[in-house]
Chains A and B, each alone.
Chain A
Amino acid sequence: DTEVTQTPKHLVMGMTNKKSLKCEQHMGHRAMYWYKQKAKKPPELMFVYSYEKLSINESVPSRFSPECPNSSLLNLHLHALQPEDSALYLCASRATWGTGELFFGEGSRLTVL
């Protein structure tokens, strides 16, 4: 299984809502990533978990709260978002051996009204 699965594929939420994005992989990878991607822009690094511990937070606003409950799962909790947070949120995982390639999920398309 070489897949990273993200749910939901699409999410529409109001600025007062609380929602979560989920990411799952069963490749035994111990590094997991959240990236944000706006249209015609590159993926922008948000968070990295390494061995279930937060290793990188790229000064992301606290309305985004990551969680790594176990080595296969990564969540991104969303609260009080702004319309400018609308974007494609990509999860990726990486093995701690080999080339260090990132395996990306298909993304969750988020719209904040």
Chain B
Amino acid sequence: EAGVAQSPRYKIIEKRQSVAFWCNPISGHATLYWYQQILGQGPKLLIQFQNNGVVDDSQLPKDRFSAERLKGVDSTLKIQPAKLEDSAVYLCASSSRGRNEQFFGPGTRLTVL
């Protein structure tokens, strides 16, 4: 079974630029999560989708971050404009339903200069 796919794996941008990340969850997984992991910290939930609906985006900085999950499958996370403090690994995870094991993708390592 294929795992969670993410791209790109690495991205370097300058502050105030825009960036987008893509995630393809495990087939059939209804719940999709985007996490931000800053070096030395645990993952912090940014947004959670159930199918194509948002169920939790309370920690998403909505003035600069946006995410969508069209058709309840793939998802994109966008940052516009980026700040230095956005430098982190962005992890996508999926689960068959909200209470089950989460499977993580390899992450996108973002560096903002």
**Do the two shown chains form a genuine complex with each other?**
no
A positions within 8 Å CB-CB of B? none
Where the two chains meet, the residues of B that have a C-beta atom closer than 8 Å to any C-beta of A are none
